């Protein structure tokens, strides 16, 4: 069976590159250009659908037009996973040739009587012998100085866990002190020099140190926000309780006053009665 030649122009043409860090979403774009005089249907497929989100993954490209495909790599917990999956991650761009083309624009009635078949339905009825396809391999680029075969992600996680178990005030003071020292040091200071040497000799350790500091700051910020919220709730509860006690006390104090007034009135009445009798 003769393979149909690819009519679309792909950019990039042979590989999709994703640049880390891969613990977050990583995006790359693929451009499909249609140089022909007819509309064509396209579809994007991958050998690892659990790892990627493709938008749009199918559609119609107008004649002399192009479309951009966004390919998003999902966050990966461990770089070793990508290393083991690297060889099987590929993408295929399928285009329907022959009768896959929409009718020639010159033969389409000006009254817009032509209505293209929806892509989902079209690809269910497609003839495989008329499909043109191109394959793209996937390339993972790691951050400068980082090698997925070195270091242990478990050690980093253990270090972060140990750090978060420290008391909040001590960790905040430690972070502030470190930032203050870095801000006060001149560019040629021994500390800055040692940090530069550390990055040059052991970039993995320097990267882990920066990640640890960022994680420490974020954890302490979250803890302080929770404590602040709890304190605000406690203050509000105490204020409500104080208002309730004050109202009850005022109500209780008003009873003896009323009794005293009644006693005075009765005494005056008795005095008047006795005065008249005498």
pLDDT score, position 82: 79
pLDDT tens digit sequence for 34-65: 999 999 999 999 999 999 999 999 999 999 99
Could you give the C-alpha distances from 116 to 102, 122, 191, 273, in angstroms and in order? 7, 9, 67, 111
All structural domains of the chain, each given as residue ranges with its CATH number in brackets, are 9-105+116-141 (2.60.40.10), 153-247 (no CATH)
Q: What is the dihedral of CA 180, 184, 189, 194, to 10 degrees?
A: 20
User: H or E segment at 40?
Assistant: strand 40-46
pLDDT tens across 175-214, in order? 656 656 655 545 444 444 455 555 556 667 777 777 888 7
- Crossing angle, helix 168-184 and helix 203-277, to 10 degrees? 130
- Look at 125 and 28; give whichever has higher pLDDT: 28
pLDDT band with cut points at 50, 70 and 90 for residue 130: confident
Residue 75 — pLDDT band, cuts 50, 70, 90? very high
- Output the CA–CA distances (angstroms, integers) from residue 35 to 30, 60, 102, 123, 163, in the order listed: 16, 13, 14, 22, 58
Q: Report the range of poorest mean pLDDT among 32-36, 69-73, 81-85, 169-173.
A: 169-173
Phi, psi values for residue 218, rounded to 5°: -65, -40
DSSP string of 169-228, one letter each residue: HHHHHHHHHHHHHHHHS-TTSHHHHHHHHHHHH-HHHHHHHHHHHHHHHHHHHHHHHHHH
Nearest residue to 207 (alpha-carbon basis) of 4, 3, 14, 21: 21
The DSSP bridge partners found for residue 91 are 46, 136
pTM above 0.85, yes or no: no
* pLDDT, greater one: 4 or 29: 29
CA-nearest of 42, 57, 53, 56 to 18 is: 53
Pairing type for strands 15-19 and 131-141 reads: parallel
């Amino acid at each position: 069976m003769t393979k149909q030649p690819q009519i679309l122009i792909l950019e990039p043409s042979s590989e999709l590159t994703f640049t880390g860090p891969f613990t977050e979403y990583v995006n790359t774009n693929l451009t499909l250009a249609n140089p022909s005089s007819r509309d064509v249907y396209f579809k994007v497929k991958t050998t690892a659908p659990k790892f990627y989100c493709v938008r749009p993954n199918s559609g119609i490209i107008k004649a002399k037009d192009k479309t951009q495909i966004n390919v998003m790599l999902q966050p990966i917990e461990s770089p070793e996973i990508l290393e083991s999956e690297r060889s099987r991650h590929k993408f295929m761009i399928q285009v329907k040739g022959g009768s896959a083309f929409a009718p020639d624009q010159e033969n389409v009635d000006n009254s817009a009587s032509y209505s293209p078949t929806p892509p989902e339905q079209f690809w269910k009825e497609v003839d495989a012998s008329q499909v043109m396809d191109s394959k793209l391999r996937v390339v993972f680029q790691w951050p400068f100085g980082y090698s997925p075969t070195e270091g242990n992600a478990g050690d980093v996680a253990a270090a972060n866990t140990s750090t978060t178990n420290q008391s909040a005030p001590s960790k905040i003071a430690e972070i502030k002190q470190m930032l203050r020292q870095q801000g006060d040091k001149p560019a040629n200071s021994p500390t800055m020099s040692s940090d530069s040497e550390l990055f040059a000799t052991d970039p993995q350790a320097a990267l882990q140190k920066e990640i640890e500091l960022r994680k420490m700051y974020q954890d302490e910020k979250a803890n302080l926000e929770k404590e602040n919220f709890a304190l605000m709730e406690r203050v509000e509860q105490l204020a409500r309780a104080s208002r309730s006690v004050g109202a009850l006390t005022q109500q209780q104090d008003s009873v003896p006053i009323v009794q005293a007034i009644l006693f005075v009135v009765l005494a005056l009445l008795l005095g008047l009665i006795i005065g008249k009798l005498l």
